[in-house]
Amino acid sequence: MIEPRQRLPVTPRTGRFLVLAGVFICAACGLVYELELVALASYLIGDSVTQASVVLSVMVFAMGVGSLLAKRLRCRAAAGFGLVEAALALVGGCSAMVLYAAFAWAGDRGEVWASGSRYLFVVFSLAIGVLIGAEVPLLMVLIQRVRRQDAGGAVADLFAADYVGALVGGLAFPFLLLPWFGQLTGALLTGAVNVLAGGALVLGLFGRDLSPRGRWLLLVVNAVVLTVLASAAVLVDDFERAARHAVYGSGIRVAVHTGLQEVVLTGRDRESLHLYLDGRLRVSGHDERRYHEALVQPALRGGRHQRVLVLGGGDGLAAREVLRHTGVRRVDIVELDPAVVDLARHDPALSDLNGHVYRDPRVRVTHADAFRWLRGPHRRVYDVVVADLPDPGITASTQLYSQEFYGLVSRVLTADGRFAVHAGPAATRPRTYWTVDATLRAAGYRTEPYRLTGRRGAHAAGPDRTADPGEAPRDWGFVLAARAEPVLGAARGAAVLRVGSRAAERLRPPDWRAIEPSTLVHPRYAD
């Protein structure tokens, strides 16, 4: 259907340009909302592949629904588009704050709400998807009113502007909005741009299509949305502090976004200190020593240990355990986030906990991704490699628990070297734990799985999520690996390995030999 041309305050050429500019801006905002939901779902719930798939698939489905619903608004396309953009700006702009508030103040109420939080992401994905889907049919009507053209040409123009806008929004989210404004303010700013662009296009270009009452209604709606977004932006810092206190407690001393992750440090002494990375408890002062001793001691007692490589472990606690052994001449730490190392160097409580290891001249730090660093040229080999890395159940970490990664480690390991790996809790996620063992064996290692029981409550050390309301027994799981069986035999002199091996053996599944290894193209860490 070719819409009749309407009398405009500008020339048709200028009007067409303004409509396409509106398409461009609205498409950029829409993609920012999508990416914001994906990033927030990954941070608050975890398992980024699953969350991204759910959010994006639900949103694409909802866009189809929105396109169908928009057919009913074609007779009032200008007013409909203005109201759709106002609603989209309000829902998309406030989505991050609402979801973070639900996580902070209701996320630890038990398993019922834990499932409910996932449904809340689906609700926002549906709502935003429906509103985004309604845009193009309405814009199709509006651009035909500016200048008559065949439907194919109008669709081509609209989708060209839409796709270019999506490109700009997709690039602006990680490179501009996140590092400069953060998730909450970035979403609010996007909403403000969205409502201003939609309101300006309708009121400025198609205002004559609206009745006086309709123009005032649209003005009031846009003003209310802008007021809500502006008020939220003014209060966002106070809101974020209150939400952090709800999540981490009132003893927060450090809370920073480093560009790679959120780092939060609570407590003022060794016993009360807690270090969180992206919402996961990474260090707990009252039992971190047991975790790090179990990770490091068996590997170092199994043979020579003059040169030790620590992958991860920027908090310095694994290096502290390494330096307790005589004969250590060099410890290289490969840590991705410089802010973690800086905190471990200068924070009084954390540096006291790690024994001020960064003052030791034997300790050297390289800030790099462990996988990329291992792929680079290396002349130095190590007697011991310690992988103090995030939990393998976290999607972003699966690369560091792949067969390819373990193959790269073997390149820097001496013939009689030992490789100690944190493999996640064996009792609560056994499939993930034994997949680590299977992956190491597939990479050519002989393995000795072991576990440390008696992990204390939900405030345990190690790279797991903070909240764990279940009553299942808690533990830490490790695997000691070497190229030859005699090397492992020498390491079995460590008491923690003797006891821990028997504890792990009791959990060994009957089909453990049939468990498939995890690779880059086929990650298998999911229970």
Q: Yes or no: say if 475 and 451 are a contact pair by the CB < 8 Å rule.
A: yes
Q: For residues 435 and 129, what is the distance between their CA atoms, to the nearest angstrom?
A: 37
262 neighbors 278 (Cβ within 8 angstroms): yes
Would you kindly state where each structural domain of the chain is located, as residue ranges?
12-248, 287-514
Cβ-contact 480, 433 below 8 angstroms = no
Q: Which one has a higher pLDDT value, 77 or 454? A: 77
Residues involved in catalysis? 388
Percent of the chain's residues with pLDDT above 90 = 57
Whether the pLDDT of residue 494 is over 60: the answer is yes
Q: Euclidean distance between the first and final Cα of the chain, in Å?
A: 53
For residue 475, say whether it is annotated as part of any ligand binding site.
no
Rg (CA), the chain: 28
Per residue in 202-213, is it b (16+ CB within 10 Å) or e — as a string? bbebbbebbeee
| Residue 3 labeled ligand binder | no
325 is in an annotated binding site: no
Q: Which residue has the higher pLDDT, 143 or 321?
A: 321
Task: CATH number for 12-248: choose from 1.20.1250.20, 3.90.1150.10, 3.40.390.10, 3.30.70.60.
Answer: 1.20.1250.20
Superfamily of domain 287-514: Vaccinia Virus protein VP39 (3.40.50.150)
Mean pLDDT value across residues 238-264? 84
Q: What pLDDT digit, counting tens, does each position of 342-384 carry?
A: 999 999 999 999 999 999 999 999 999 999 999 988 778 999 9
For residue 467, the model assigns a pLDDT of 42
Q: How confident is the model at residue 400 (pLDDT cuts 50, 70, 90)?
A: very high
Q: Is 346 annotated as a binding residue?
A: no
- Reply yes or no on whether the pLDDT at 62 is more than 80: yes
CA of residue 476 relative to chain centroid, distance:
23
Counting Cα atoms < 13 Å in the Cβ hemisphere of 416 gives 12
Partners of 481 in beta bridges: 419, 447
Say which amino acid occupies 496. V
Check if 12-248 and 287-514 are the same fold: no
Instruction: Say whether 51 counts as a known binding-site residue.
Output: no
User: For residue 162, what pLDDT is reported?
Assistant: 93
pLDDT at residue 112, rounded to an integer: 37
- CA dist., res. 68 & res. 293, Å (int): 61
- Residue 347 known to bind ligand: no
pLDDT for position 374? 94
Strands 475-482 and 446-453: antiparallel
Q: How far apart are CA 198 and CA 218, in angstroms?
A: 10
Sign of CA dihedral 281, 287, 288, 292: negative
Q: List the single range of 113-117, 291-295, 478-482 with lowest mean pLDDT.
A: 113-117
Phi, psi of 466 (to 5 degrees): -70, -50
CA distance 40 to 494: 43
Of the segments 92-106, 339-353, 450-464, which one has the largest average pLDDT value? 339-353
Task: Report the alpha-carbon angle 379-385-388, nearest 5.
Answer: 130
pTM over cut 0.75: yes
Q: Rounded CA gap, 333 and 7, in Å?
A: 69
